[in-house]
Structure 1
Amino acid sequence: MILYHTDPGSPVIEISVEGKITDHDLRAAIERMRGDLELNGKTRVLERIEHFTGIEPKALWTDLTLGVPLARRITRAAVVADAGWIHASMHLARFFTKAEVKAFHVNELEEARAWINA
């Protein structure tokens, strides 16, 4: 499941991922992000990932073909996650975005919000 939140006029998007990512949910989030990027130009993303159980193969392809081009337009990304492997994989982000990326543990959510807004 993907929950997408942004305040009107804010350059910050907050995305919560829990459980399994479906292609339908991912496409909806990508479309909303595309619209926010058009409105705000430079955008920052805070992504919370908890209890992640996987991604549909079709959604993985959608992420590579539609999500990666959008990721290149993000200026800063905070990833808040409960799984150590997600933190360890953050070095791979440099292949998909030029954004400054920083990982946080779930108990550091407020620190992540402060960093993304700095």
Structure 2
Amino acid sequence: MILYHTEPDSPVIEISIEGKITDHDLREAIERMRGDLELNGKTRVLERIEHFTGIEPKALWTDITLGVSVARKVTRAAVVADAGWIRASMHLARFFTKAEVKAFHVNELEQARIWINT
């Protein structure tokens, strides 16, 4: 499940991921992000990932073919995750985006929000 949240006139997008990512949910999030990028230009993303159980193979392909081009337009990304392997893998983001990326533990959500807004 992907929940997508923005505030009017804010360049920050909050995305919450729980459980398994479906292709349908991912496509909707990518389309919303494209719209926000067109509206706001430079965009920052705070992504919360908790209780992650996987991604549909079709969604993985969608992420590669559609998501990477959108991710390249993000200027800063905070990843807040409960799983250590997710936070540890954030160094791989440099292959997909030029954004400054920083990982946080779930108990550091407020610090992540402060960082993404500075």
Q: TM-score range by the shorter chain?
A: over 0.9
Using the aligned pairs only, state the percent identity: 89
- Unaligned regions of 5+ residues in structure 2, if any? none
Query: CA separation in 1, counterparts of 2:105 and 2:20?
Result: 20
Query: CA shift at 1:88, angstroms?
Result: 1.0
| CA-atom RMSD in angstroms | 0.3
Q: Which residue of 2 aligns with 1:31?
A: 31
* 1:50 Cα offset (Å): 0.0
Q: After superposition, where does 1:54-65 map in structure 2 within 5 Å?
A: 54-65=54-65
Distance 1:38 1:98 in 2: 18
CA–CA separation in structure 2 for the residues paired with 1:9 and 1:81: 26
Mapping of residues 1-118 of structure 1, within 5 Å: 1-118=1-118
The CA distance in 2 between the partners of 1:8 and 1:61, in whole Å, is 31
Partner secondary structure for residue 9 of structure 1? coil
Runs of 4+ in 1 over 2 A off after TM superposition: none
1:111 shift after superposition: 0.1
CA drift of 1:8 comes to 1.1
- TM score, norm. by length of structure 2: 0.99
The two structures have a TM-score, normalised by structure 1, of: 0.99
In structure 1, how many angstroms separate the alpha carbons of the residues matched to 2:21 and 2:88?
Answer: 20
User: 2: distance between equivalents of 1:87 and 1:43?
Assistant: 21
The CA deviation string for residues 44-86 of structure 1, in whole angstroms up to 9 with x for no partner, is 0000000000000000000000000000000000000000000
- How much does 1:103 deviate? 0.1
Residue type matched to 1:90 in 2?
M
- Post-superposition offset of 1:105: 0.1
